[in-house]
Amino acid sequence: MAGDGIAVRSGLRLTTARFLRDRVAVAGLAVFAFVAAASFGGGPLLSSLLGHNGFTQFPYAVVDTGTGLRPVGMWSRVPTTQQVRVDNYGGTLPAPKNASTTLLIAGADGPLGRDELIRVLDGGKASLEVGLGAVLVAVLIAVPLGSAAGFFGGAVDSVVSRLTETLMAFPLVLFLVFASVRLSPTLRPIGWGRVIPSGVPMMALLIGIFTSFYPLRLVRAQLLGLRSAEFVEAARALGSSSVRILRSHLLPHLVPTLLVWGAVAVATNMLLEVGLSVIGVGVQASTATWGSLLATTTGTIYFASPANTQNYTIWQTLFPSLAILVAVVSLNQVSEGLRRALEPRDLA
């Protein structure tokens, strides 16, 4: 009791304290927070400092190798002019001497000569929005259906379980490819300027729908064990309705499980977006994502690009790959730390 000098801490404070003692999890959270901050704010900040954005094309940021256009490398200064001087034989002349220049810190992204670093930062924003949006969609589907199946059981549980098993029986990527191709003319243009780029809502919606059976089964399994708990029986004895019991007594118990799953799911969804972009059915081609940036050098299964070091730089592959690796590993560490902090057996 407080009067006896004993500090009483809530479950949230205990969980937070256990999480903060996990140095690996805290480091993962700090790294992911940095990645998220850089992705959402780094692009606009760099654009204002350098005087150009990730959509600005610089013709002099590429070099004609005879077999293609090779982007310039790191820390290159290129003329800002959009006009390319061409001689009578079609060969490109040296850049204008009096033209102003701009700095490409990580070089150019490909034949169009856009800023690679700004596009990696903008791509992180789009990839994170896909990952987070898909988790939100999956939770909105899983919580009501899983709660109904786990709490009421019977015919409701049978219908939801058969639906879930049917979705699980089909290849996830095949479903996503088919849905993306069929719905792309309608849903792909949807977006909100640079806040939510075109194609991101469609990808988040599709991934969220076709991965919702994971949290649905988690919610159902947890409520199957909780619906006969003593506190639920006590609530029934006091006259609480089923809806009130679900909302006030059972749904709060789902939060820890969904938090742990959500951290892993964001990373998984980002990898799905990368895979779909490489396949050629990802976010709109003009939208920078980590997957579309990788596809710039590797091509897609429809338009494969043969490996030719004369036409691309290592930075075009290295920077998006490192960004994906750091984001996914940090999220996995956060999820593992949340799991350890939330498990009752770790209280001791």
* pLDDT tens-place values along the chain, 348 residues long: 444 444 445 567 888 888 899 999 999 999 999 999 999 999 999 999 999 999 999 999 988 877 778 899 899 999 998 877 665 545 566 777 777 999 999 999 988 899 999 999 999 999 999 999 999 999 999 999 999 998 888 899 999 998 888 888 878 778 777 777 777 777 777 778 777 888 889 889 989 998 999 999 999 999 988 877 777 778 778 877 778 888 778 888 888 889 999 999 999 999 998 888 877 777 876 788 998 888 877 666 556 566 566 778 888 889 999 999 999 999 999 999 999 888 755 444
Predicted local confidence at residue 260, as pLDDT: 92
Predicted local confidence at residue 85, as pLDDT: 67
Predicted local confidence at residue 38, as pLDDT: 96
Whether the model pTM is above 0.75: yes
Query: Which is the CATH superfamily of the domain at 116-346?
Result: MetI-like (1.10.3720.10)
Predicted local confidence at residue 178, as pLDDT: 78
SS3 95: coil
CA dihedral 94, 97, 100, 102 (to 10 degrees): 40
Predicted local confidence at residue 138, as pLDDT: 96
| Helix, strand, coil percent values for the chain (each to nearest 5) | 65, 5, 30
Tokens of 113: 């000569």
Identify the DSSP state of 59.
G
Tokens of 154: 């019977």
Q: Concatenated DSSP letters for 121-175?
A: HHHHHHHHHHHHHHHHHHHHHHHHHHHHHHHH-HHHHHHHHHHHHHHHHS-HHHH
Domain ranges (residues) in the chain = 59-104, 116-346
232-254: pLDDT as tens digits? 778 778 877 778 888 778 888 88
| Amino acid occupying residue 226 | L
Predicted local confidence at residue 44, as pLDDT: 93
Tokens of 269: 């969804």
Rg (CA), the chain: 25
105-157: pLDDT as tens digits? 999 998 889 999 999 999 999 999 999 999 999 999 999 999 999 888 889 99
